[in-house]
Amino acid sequence: MLSNSIVLNPLFAGLNTEQQIAVSKTDGPVMVIAGAGSGKTRVLTYRIAYLLQLGVDAFHILALTFTNKAAREMKNRIGELVGFREARNVWMGTFHSVFARILRAEADKLGFPSNFTIYDTDDAKNLIKTIVKELNLDPKIYQASLILGRISDAKNNLISPAGYNQNEETISDDKKAGKPSLGLIYTIYQKRLTQAAAMDFDDLLFKTNVLLHNFPDVLYKYQQKFKFILVDEYQDTNYSQYLIVKRLAATNENICVVGDDAQSIYAFRGANIKNILNFQKDYPDAQIVKLEQNYRSTQIIVNAANSLIHNNKDQIFKTVWTANESGELIQLIKASSDLEEGRLIAQQIFEDKMNRQAKNTDFAILYRTNAQSRSLEEALRKLNIPYRIFGGLSFYKRKEIKDILAYFRLTINPKDNEAFNRIINFPARGIGKTTLELITTEAARLEKGYWDILCDLPQNNLGINAGTQKKIREFVIMIQSFQSEIEILNAYDLGSKIARASGLISNLQSDKTPEGISKYENIEALLNGMMEFVAKENNEIQDEESLKNLTAFMQDIALLTDADEKEDEKIEKVSLMTIHQAKGLEFPYVSIVGLEENLFPSIQSIGSRADLEEERRLFYVALTRAEKKVVMSYAESRFRWGNLTFSEPSRFLEEIEEKYLASSNIKKTYSGSASNPNPYKPKTSTRFSSPQTRTSIQDNESTAPKYTKIQSKDSEITNRPNLNFVGASIEELKEKMLVEHQRFGKGEIIKIEGIGSNKTAFVLFDEIGEKQLLLRFAKLRIVK
DNA sequence: TCCGATCTATTTTTT
DNA sequence: ATAGATCGGA
């Protein structure tokens, strides 16, 4: 069993026997089936720390995680255990980021430049739309998102365009579905990606497989390099990922996978639960370790989750149990509408916070779809509870950011047609639709990139008139001037130059709407990020020499995900996110909202048992995020697609054994509070709790529920009627005043600077921290 | 070429 | 509901 040296090793002191085995069995294949809350992350970090302690070179360890954030956190914890010098050298990251790095190093073998572009989902969809158009196919039948899904499926199962077109089954499936051209689209799509020196997300895995398959010397090299491989969230790997791992681990077989079949929630994007179920077949001598003790949650929560998941047929025998206290029953809230649901949940959080001295950060609200966040946000705002939404449109998905990034992309890789499309006439420079069509047609004919056609224009003007030709020439010269400076300027210097020279900055500066200002600020934020990037000490594994240039910056941010966005400031906030995003996280108090048929389980899943079971696992994941208390809610009616729809409680609610549910009579009449509209005067933000103001807002909203209200045409602000944002006159504003901004919420003026039209206020906002506002733009309402 | 009016997809989850 | 795309007229 365990040797003495292990028992006496302080690293093992805090681990139970099973965990100790999982950490210490460093030779040969190991699969850890880790129930929810059973210390999975702990095992992974300790295992790596132990390897380092044994003298394994950090460069020989590869750890694949589900998010970059998970990798970062793990690295930190390992650093704390065995020192950061070593920890930083471990290869740790998502499949996509780790293998993107390897692909860049080996790109020439695949016929790609090392600075290839990574197309995101939008780029990929746009490319598909272009192809569908070119083929004169009906875009309603050949919907970009559906086609991309199909292509993605193929790639995740390592089916190339050729393979796709040879497969009788797919061909006849597509024909039956009325989409016989799918194979052709896939073929062209892939050709265009190569021409654009671009890879989509799935290519990063697909091409890695090609690389490891076609180049035995490369495979050998990485097999020697990665002597120890660890994979987190193994239940959510797809076939393509599975095969990469299998190939890399083939010689040493020092592979440790950690996962929980009960938490597999990504089958919709190709994750294959069989990878975990078949591990023993691939490695007959594998050691299987089961972690079944839950350290996270109360008995009520663990047992309730167990009672739910037992309704699934496909699962690995496992009993999750806990020695924790029994805890509180699960609370179930019934609301009449989504708006009321929001109010009741917010109110419940408010009470729990008061009664238990809990912090905002102790609370999470989890939902099935992002669209559900609206009503919750509104309700939280009214109770002055700060919150943070994860997901939604992330920083890098905003238009203005994508615009400037497109300039960066075209500068780095002029073959990047999607970047080209985005910026060729933005800001408007008189290169219109007609001209563009000439260019794209010619590009398709010659199988060249759009940029190349522009560069050829002096020889072949395609009948473009002289004026437009001049404009094109100016554009070309501008981009070329950026290109010539990639190796000379650092990322920040070149980035700010591009922001100005492209006209993006002046374009936004002329936009005086709040949206325009916030866009301008976002560009500023991006440039600040670039400055940080340049200033930051190089703690990546890349060679010290690697420049902090634009190329490096783009590679740094290409695969960032929502979960990686920097956490802002010090204000403690309630977390709002989808259950998918909550994977791997834990909170003392968790609310799971929208437990209605057709929403959760989602309507798409109801038809098939496999899909339904995935939804159930999703609910299982949600429940097991909670440490102390779970609140569940559903609404009898809800706005969806702008329509009021009626709904039934989710079938999952019946599947939780009743004894774990509080027998609350469910309908807490919120209307009862009418006599006392604001019974819970928030203590948290006494600064702004001028009750008159708030209650007046509340009264307004609660007496006139949204859906009965006739929306006026100038809707922009109708969400918040009676908040008169005409803008206080500049002279009225003084330091220390409490003000409210339409977008940023309430805040205090810290100081006022400047004169005349340049007068600027520094406002510390409750929710988003300090902002500088040019008073001639900012519409502020004086609160006090 | 530009602007406003109208149409349309979106809402399941994401690297 | 709403943002983005598309269309049509000036």
Q: Which two tokens stand for residue A741?
A: 């901004």
pLDDT value for A693? 25
pLDDT value for A784? 65
Check pLDDT > 50 for residue A173: yes
Give Cα separations from A502 to A404, A419, A506, A686 (angstroms).
9, 14, 9, 46
Under a CB-based contact definition with an 8 Å cutoff, are residues A578 and A369 in contact? Answer: yes
Distance C7 C1' – A142 CA (angstroms)? 22
In chain A, the percentage of residues whose pLDDT exceeds 70 is: 82
Of A115, A112, A107, the C-alpha closest to A218 is A107
pLDDT value for A741? 61
Average of per-residue pLDDT across A136-150 = 85
What span, in angstroms and rounded, lies between the C-alpha atoms of A548 and A744?
A: 34
Of A260, A314, A310, A255, the C-alpha closest to A285 is A255
Does residue A232 carry a catalytic annotation? yes
Contact residues for A672 (Cβ-Cβ < 8 A; gap 6+): none
pLDDT value for A129? 87
- Interstrand relation of A363-367 and A587-592 (parallel, antiparallel or unpaired): parallel
Q: Which two tokens stand for residue A491?
A: 């990322």
Check pLDDT > 60 for residue A544: no
Q: Which two tokens stand for residue A579?
A: 């259950």
Identify the residue whose Cα has the smallest distance to the C1' of B14.
Answer: A269
Q: A775 vs A489, which has greater pLDDT?
A: A489
Under a CB-based contact definition with an 8 Å cutoff, are residues A342 and A367 in contact? Answer: no
Does residue A263 carry a catalytic annotation? yes
Distance B2 C1' – A434 CA (angstroms)? 15
Of the given ranges (A481-490, A655-664, A729-738), which has the lowest mean pLDDT? A729-738
What span, in angstroms and rounded, lies between the C-alpha atoms of A66 and A539?
A: 21
Query: Which residues numbered 414-473 in chain A sit less than 7 A from strand B, measured from CB?
Result: 428, 430-435, 468
DSSP codes of every residue in A609-627: HHHHHHHHHHHHHHHTTEE
Q: For residue A268, say whether its CB is under 7 Å from any atom of strand B.
A: yes
Q: A199 vs A5, which has greater pLDDT?
A: A199
Segment (H or E) for A774? strand A769-774
What span, in angstroms and rounded, lies between the C-alpha atoms of A274 and A216?
A: 27
pLDDT value for A316? 74
Does residue A233 carry a catalytic annotation? yes
Of A659, A657, A590, A660, the C-alpha closest to A310 is A657
Q: Rounded to the nearest 5°, which phi and psi values hold at A229?
A: -120, 135
Check pLDDT > 70 for residue A220: yes
Average of per-residue pLDDT across A85-89 = 88
Identify the residue whose Cα has the smallest distance to the C1' of C3.
Answer: A399
Q: For residue A685, say whether its CB is under 7 Å from any atom of strand B.
A: no
Identify the residue whose Cα has the smallest distance to the C1' of B13.
Answer: A580
pLDDT value for A696? 26
pLDDT value for A199? 95
Average of per-residue pLDDT across A186-208 = 95
Average of per-residue pLDDT across A118-135 = 88
The dihedral built from the CA positions of residue A200, A201, A204 and A206, taken in this order, carries a sign that is negative
Which bases on strand C have an atom closer than 7 Å to a protein beta carbon? 1-2, 4, 6
Check pLDDT > 80 for residue A691: no
Contact residues for A137 (Cβ-Cβ < 8 A; gap 6+): A181, A185
Q: With b meaning 16 or more CB within 10 Å and e meaning fewer, what string describes A112-133?
A: beeebbbbbeebbbbbbebbbe
Q: For residue A230, say whether its CB is under 7 Å from any atom of strand B.
A: no
Q: How confident is the model at residue A632 (pLDDT cuts 50, 70, 90)?
A: very high
Average of per-residue pLDDT across A728-746 = 66
Check pLDDT > 80 for residue A582: yes
Check pLDDT > 50 for residue A410: yes
Check pLDDT > 80 for residue A343: yes
What span, in angstroms and rounded, lies between the C-alpha atoms of A576 and A651?
A: 24
Nucleotide with smallest C1' distance to residue A205 CA: B15
Give Cα separations from A575 to A74, A336, A765 (angstroms).
21, 24, 18
Average of per-residue pLDDT across A89-100 = 94
Q: Note the helical H segments in A332-398.
A: 338-356, 373-382
Q: For residue A513, say whether its CB is under 7 Å from any atom of strand C.
A: no
Q: With b meaning 16 or more CB within 10 Å and e meaning fewer, what string describes A652-691?
A: bbebbeeebbeeeeeebeeeebeeeeeeeebebeeebeee
CB atoms within 10 A of CB A31: 23
pLDDT value for A685? 28
pLDDT value for A99? 96
What span, in angstroms and rounded, lies between the C-alpha atoms of A602 and A612?
A: 8
Under a CB-based contact definition with an 8 Å cutoff, are residues A158 and A202 in contact? Answer: no
Distance B5 C1' – A552 CA (angstroms)? 44
Query: Which residues numbered 554-573 in chain A sit less than 7 A from strand B, measured from CB?
Result: 559, 561-563
DSSP codes of every residue in A635-674: ESEEEETTEEEE-PBPHHHHHS-GGGB----S---GGGGG
As a whole number, the mean pLDDT across chain A is 83
pLDDT value for A203? 96
Identify the residue whose Cα has the smallest distance to the C1' of B2.
Answer: A428
Under a CB-based contact definition with an 8 Å cutoff, are residues A152 and A159 in contact? Answer: no
Nucleotide with smallest C1' distance to residue A374 CA: C1
Q: For residue A715, say whether its CB is under 7 Å from any atom of strand B.
A: no
Check pLDDT > 60 for residue A510: yes
Q: For residue A642, say whether its CB is under 7 Å from any atom of strand C.
A: yes
Span A271-325, pLDDT tens digits: 888 888 889 999 999 999 999 999 999 999 999 999 999 999 877 778 899 999 9
What span, in angstroms and rounded, lies between the C-alpha atoms of A456 and A451?
A: 9
* Residue appearing with tokens 């006209």: A503
Check pLDDT > 90 for residue A731: no
Average of per-residue pLDDT across A513-527 = 83
Cis peptide leading into residue A113 (ω within 30°): no
Average of per-residue pLDDT across A487-505 = 93
Span A227-281, pLDDT tens digits: 999 999 999 999 999 999 999 999 999 999 999 999 999 988 888 888 888 899 9
pLDDT value for A710? 24
In chain A, the percentage of residues whose pLDDT exceeds 90 is: 50
Contact residues for A248 (Cβ-Cβ < 8 A; gap 6+): A62, A212, A219, A222, A223, A226, A229
Nucleotide with smallest C1' distance to residue A604 CA: B12
Question: Helix %, strand %, coil % for chain A, to 5?
Answer: 50, 15, 35
Report the C-alpha dihedral over residues A567, A568, A569, A575, rounded to 10 degrees.
-70
CB atoms within 10 A of CB A287: 15
Report the C-alpha dihedral over residues A82, A84, A90, A93, rounded to 10 degrees.
120
Check pLDDT > 70 for residue A754: no
pLDDT value for A561? 64
Average of per-residue pLDDT across A599-604 = 89
Span A367-398, pLDDT tens digits: 999 889 888 988 998 899 999 888 766 788 88
CA angle, A663 then A668 then A672, to 5°: 150
Average of per-residue pLDDT across A705-714 = 26
| DSSP state at residue A710 | P
Of the given ranges (A29-38, A518-527, A563-572), which has the lowest mean pLDDT? A563-572
Which bases on strand B have an atom closer than 7 Å to a protein beta carbon? 1-2, 9-15
Of the given ranges (A79-88, A131-140, A548-557), which has the lowest mean pLDDT? A131-140
Give Cα separations from A685 to A231, A385, A740, A743 (angstroms).
44, 9, 14, 19
Check pLDDT > 80 for residue A33: yes
